[in-house]
């Protein structure tokens, strides 16, 4: 196994057909390269001439520390981390590729150095983080909800909670228009979200130029949904798409109209579009992005999605704990949506 730095074209060509996150696409990574702190490294693991593993990393130096992260902090990226694409379906060989890539990667990163800190938020499809633990890093599970949208939406509604079904049906009787919008609608959603954080005296990492570039660069992989009544803006959501899933990214203010949650109506429209009009035919899941905050889970669980684990891999010790607090390594934005 050898690890090499890739250019964006080689990265794009190496992506598998399924199992990657929307921010693994070269379009999204190019936006992060322009806006995120630190330098972007696209690394690939080769066995012979075969590309069998990939990981995007962002490296920055601050406070005497060298911080290696995937995703970069403060950019509202829920998951990034490694992709492993072994050529053999055999479990033993898959584990060997994963183990060899992890060991070689950590060696290239000099991850054992006392002032090097590593933090990865792995994608849900990366199911075996054990080699990182075996090499001295901590591995902890986290969770999201993923709703399989593989049936008629009206049948899917049966999996929703009774209160959610009642709310959506009540909303259908109201004069509320939910439409897809472009960059202009995206800016409205962004401003509203940023104002909500400011009202709660909480930091909001993404900037409008960054969010604008994400919408524009992703093209068909992004949609902005805006709800209005009599022309008045009620709320909106920015949705991003990988080849597998739609992601509830930014927006979703807790607004109501005639006692009906605008969020619930937006989600219902998005679910219908995944079933009937997805931008990519293979999309068949809706990721509600985050199932780690008890209060938010009470709402998100109403959609009947499957609780799906992913893994956080990070350096341990006092230095890492200090970095989380002092340099904002923990990205809370996506968990608050």
**Number of residues that this document lists for the chain:** 337
Taking the C-alpha atoms of residue 287 and residue 92, their distance in angstroms, rounded to an integer, is 30
Are the beta carbons of 19 and 123 closer than 8 angstroms?
yes
Is the pLDDT at 273 greater than 50, yes or no? yes
Res. 337: pLDDT tops 50: no
Between the two ends of the chain, the Cα-to-Cα distance in Å is: 40
Domain with CATH 3.40.630.30 in the chain: 2-142+311-336, 145-308
Q: Quote the pTM value.
A: 0.93
pLDDT at 107: 96
pLDDT tens for each residue of 289-302: 989 999 889 999 99
Tokens found for residue 121 = 């938020």
Domain 2-142+311-336 class in CATH: alpha beta
Mean pLDDT rounded to a whole number for the chain: 92
| pLDDT above 60 (res 336) | no
DSSP labels, 47-62: ETTEEEEEEEEEEEEE
pLDDT digits (tens, 9 = 90+) for 279-292: 999 999 999 998 99
pLDDT in tens, 242-253: 999 999 999 987
Q: How confident is the model at residue 319 (pLDDT cuts 50, 70, 90)?
A: low
What are the helix (H) ranges across 74-126?
A: 91-109
Per-residue pLDDT reduced to its tens digit, 87-126: 888 999 999 999 999 999 999 999 999 999 999 999 999 9
Q: How many of the other CB atoms lie within 10 Å of CB of 279? A: 16
Pairing of strands 232-241, 245-251: antiparallel
Q: Where are the alpha helices (DSSP H) in the chain?
A: 8-14, 26-35, 91-109, 130-134, 153-156, 162-172, 183-199, 208-218, 262-276, 294-300, 318-327
Query: At the fourth CATH level, which superfamily is domain 145-308?
Result: Gcn5-related N-acetyltransferase (GNAT) (3.40.630.30)
Q: Are 46 and 27 in contact (CB under 8 A)?
A: no
Rounded (10°) angle between helices 26-35 and 208-218: 160
């Amino acid at each position: 196994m050898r690890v090499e730095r890739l250019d964006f074209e080689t990265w794009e060509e190496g992506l598998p057909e399924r199992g990657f996150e929307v921010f693994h696409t070269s379009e999204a990574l190019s936006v992060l390269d322009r806006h995120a702190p630190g330098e972007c490294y696209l690394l690939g693991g080769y066995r012979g001439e075969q590309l069998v593993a990939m990981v995007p990393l962002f490296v920055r130096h601050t406070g005497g520390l060298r911080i290696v992260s995937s995703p970069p902090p403060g950019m509202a990226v829920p998951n990034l981390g490694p992709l492993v694409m072994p050529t053999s379906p055999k479990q033993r060989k898959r584990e060997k590729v994963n183990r060899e890539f992890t060991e070689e990667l950590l060696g290239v990163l000099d991850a054992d150095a006392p002032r090097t800190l590593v933090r990865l938020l792995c994608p849900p499809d990366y199911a075996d983080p054990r080699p990182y633990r075996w090499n001295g890093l901590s591995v902890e599970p986290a969770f999201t909800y993923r709703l399989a949208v593989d049936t008629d939406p009206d049948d899917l509604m049966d999996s929703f909670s009774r209160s959610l079904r009642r709310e959506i049906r009540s909303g259908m009787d109201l004069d509320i228009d939910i439409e897809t919008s472009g960059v202009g609608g995206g800016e409205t959603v962004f401003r509203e979200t940023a104002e909500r954080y400011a009202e709660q005296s909480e930091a909001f990492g993404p900037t409008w130029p960054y969010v604008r570039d994400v919408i524009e660069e992703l093209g068909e992989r992004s949609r902005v949904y805006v709800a209005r009544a009599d022309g008045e803006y009620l709320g909106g959501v920015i949705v991003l798409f990988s080849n597998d899933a739609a992601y509830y990214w930014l927006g979703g203010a807790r607004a109501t109209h005639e006692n009906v949650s605008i969020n619930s109506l937006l989600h219902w429209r998005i679910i219908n579009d995944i079933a009937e009009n997805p931008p990519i035919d293979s999309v068949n899941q809706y990721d509600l992005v985050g199932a780690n905050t008890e209060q938010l889970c009470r709402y998100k669980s109403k959609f009947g999605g499957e609780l799906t684990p992913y893994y956080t891999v990070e350096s341990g010790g006092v230095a890492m704990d200090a970095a989380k607090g002092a340099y904002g390594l923990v990205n809370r934005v996506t968990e608050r949506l």
